[in-house]
């Protein structure tokens, strides 16, 4: 009996695969390697001293994906595969809708055919749009501001309809806040190609001299120091949340949704200052205009996940900054 991790060679999927293996689960990874490479699979195996079964394929190809279910006894699926760059999704909406929706539909149709009924979906805090208040709870109104976010919201709706039509499905939708950090081994982490969009990869690129200066998007927000506030969570804490989500649907029937964040808001400046302090490295920055579409503050109320999943993040902002930098130094 194996867990299929769709997108398991990616930043978050690779950390989830490690936690699964550490919990003695058999792991099958499917990944297109569009945003990753096969070394990640080797590193997962080196870290855990266990083997994973890996398929390099694009889930758009339903026949190839079905073969994975034919060849293996897949008991549950954690689905993280998809295109994920917000800015690119605005420029290429058709690609984002086609890819993210079709691969998910292929996966769910095959699961139904093979009577595989446990599904954990990687959703995002982006489905809360512009929240009126913080901290954000799971029952807040949902809306989106870009095609990437809309694919997440559409998939959540598809999952609800699927569950309503077939109660044998057991589904958890996890709304991630801002995952950063890396595995403590320094062997896997986030190292995107090209110019990064998100804050932590940008900080590490400036710290390593790849980029000259970090643009801090706005210092006139109504926040503690004027810069944007987000809920950064260590990727290993986030990965552990998936193990708890699987345990939940091994035990209980239903469809569930949980925020996964640290439950705390940190400003851009706090993150930059902490990064400089714990790593003893300089990050050049300057203040620029606000980034269109950004909100002042976004952080989670995580009490539902704490109570129902018996999960609690344990890593500090210092841990996140140290581990992010350790991975980059190690991969140079």
Q: Which of 202, 256, 275, 327 binds ligand UD1 (CB under 6 A)?
A: 202
**Cα–Cα distance for residue pair 157/178, rounded to 1 Å:** 22
Query: Between residues 131 and 186, which has the closer beta carbon with respect to ligand UD1?
Result: 131
Residues numbered 68 to 107 that lie near ligand UD1 (CB under 6 A) are: 86
Q: Which stretch binds ligand UD1 (CB under 6 A): 112-120, 194-202, 313-321, 324-332?
A: 194-202
Write the Ramachandran bin of 305: left for phi over 0, alpha for psi from -120 to 50, otherwise beta. alpha
What sign does the CA torsion over 71, 56, 10, 52 have? positive
Of 58 and 219, CB closest to ligand UD1: 219
Q: Smallest Cα–Cα separation from 297: which of 234, 231, 201, 232? A: 231
User: Cis before residue 293, ω within 30 degrees of 0?
Assistant: no
Contact in structure between 209 and 328 (CB atoms under 8 Å): no
Task: Please report, in angstroms and rounded to a whole number, the separation of the first and last CA atoms in the chain.
Answer: 38
Residues in CB range of 260: below 8 A, 6 or more apart: 174, 175, 176, 177, 233, 238, 241, 300, 302, 305, 311
Catalytic residue selected from 11, 55, 96, 148? 148
Distance CA 216, CA 268 (A): 7
Q: How far is the CB of 22 from ligand UD1 (least distance, A)?
A: 25
Within its chain, how far is the Cα of 216 from the centroid? 23
- For residues 257-286, which are near ligand UD1 according to CB under 6 A? 268
148 given a catalytic annotation:
yes
**Site track for ligand UD1 across 110-129, x = CB under 6 A:** --------------x-x---
Widest Cα–Cα separation across the chain: 56
Q: What is the 3-state secondary structure (H, E, C) of 62-118?
A: HHHHHHHHHHCCEEEEEECCCCCCHHHHHHCHHHHHHHHHHHHHHHHHHHHHCCCCE
Region binding ligand UD1 by CB under 6 A among candidate stretches 167-175, 187-195, 289-297, 304-312: 289-297
Which lies closer to ligand UD1 via its Cβ, residue 95 or residue 166?
Answer: 95
Find the part of the chain contacting ligand UD1 (CB under 6 A) among 59-67, 131-139, 196-204, 309-317: 196-204
Question: Given the complex with ligand UD1, which of 117 and 262 has the nearer CB atom?
Answer: 262
Q: Judged by CB under 6 A, which stretch of 68-76, 93-101, 164-172, 195-203 contacts ligand UD1?
A: 195-203
Show Cβ contacts of residue 306 under 8 Å, excluding neighbours closer than 6 positions.
312
13 binds ligand UD1 (CB under 6 A): no
Q: Which of 291, 310, 314, 318 binds ligand UD1 (CB under 6 A)?
A: 291
How far is it, in rounded angstroms, from Cα 280 to Cα 288? 25
How many residues line the site for ligand UD1 (CB under 6 A)? 19
Distance (Å, whole) CA 246 – CA 265: 27
Residue whose C-alpha is closest to residue 262's, from 253, 251, 252, 270: 270
293 binds ligand UD1 (CB under 6 A): yes
Site residues for ligand UD1, window 153-192 (CB under 6 A)? 178
Scan residues 210-229 and list those touching ligand UD1 (CB under 6 A): 214-217, 228
Tell me which of 88, 247, 294, 319 binds ligand UD1, using CB under 6 A: 294
Near ligand UD1 by CB under 6 A: residue from 174, 199, 245, 321: 199
Residue nearest to ligand UD1 (CB): 228
Q: Which residues bind ligand UD1 (CB under 6 A)?
A: 86, 124, 126, 149, 178, 197-199, 202, 214-217, 228, 230, 268, 291, 293-294
Active site residues: 148
């Amino acid at each position: 009996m194996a867990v299929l991790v769709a997108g398991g060679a990616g930043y978050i999927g690779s950390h989830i695969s490690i936690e699964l293996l550490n919990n003695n689960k058999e792991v099958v990874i499917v990944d297109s390697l569009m945003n990753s490479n096969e070394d990640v699979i080797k590193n997962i195996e080196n870290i855990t001293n266990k083997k994973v079964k890996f398929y390099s394929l694009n889930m758009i190809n339903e026949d190839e994906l079905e073969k994975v279910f034919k060849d293996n006894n897949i008991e549950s699926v954690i689905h993280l595969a998809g295109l994920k760059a917000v800015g690119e999704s605005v420029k290429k909406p058709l690609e984002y809708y086609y890819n993210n929706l079709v691969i998910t539909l292929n996966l769910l149709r095959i699961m139904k055919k093979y009577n595989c009924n446990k599904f954990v979906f990687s959703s995002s805090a982006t489905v809360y749009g512009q929240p009126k208040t913080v901290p954000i709870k799971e029952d807040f109104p949902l809306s989106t501001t870009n095609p990437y976010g809309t694919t997440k919201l559409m998939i959540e709706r598809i999952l609800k309809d699927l569950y309503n039509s077939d109660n044998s499905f057991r589904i958890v939708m996890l709304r991630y806040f801002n995952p950063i950090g890396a595995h403590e081994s320094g062997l896997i982490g986030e190292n995107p190609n090209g110019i990064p969009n998100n804050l932590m990869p940008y900080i590490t690129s400036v710290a390593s001299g790849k980029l000259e200066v970090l643009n801090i998007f706005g210092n006139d927000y109504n926040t503690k120091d004027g810069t944007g506030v987000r809920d950064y969570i260590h990727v290993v804490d986030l990965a552990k949340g998936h193990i708890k989500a699987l345990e939940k649907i091994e035990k209980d029937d239903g469809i569930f949704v949980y925020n996964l964040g640290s439950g705390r808001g940190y400003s851009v400046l706090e993150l930059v200052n902490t990064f400089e302090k714990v790593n003893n490295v300089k990050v050049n920055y300057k203040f620029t205009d606000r980034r269109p579409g950004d909100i002042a503050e976004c952080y989670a109320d995580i009490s539902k996940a704490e109570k129902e999943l018996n999960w609690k993040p344990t890593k500090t902002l210092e841990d996140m900054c140290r581990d992010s930098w350790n991975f980059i130094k190690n991969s140079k």
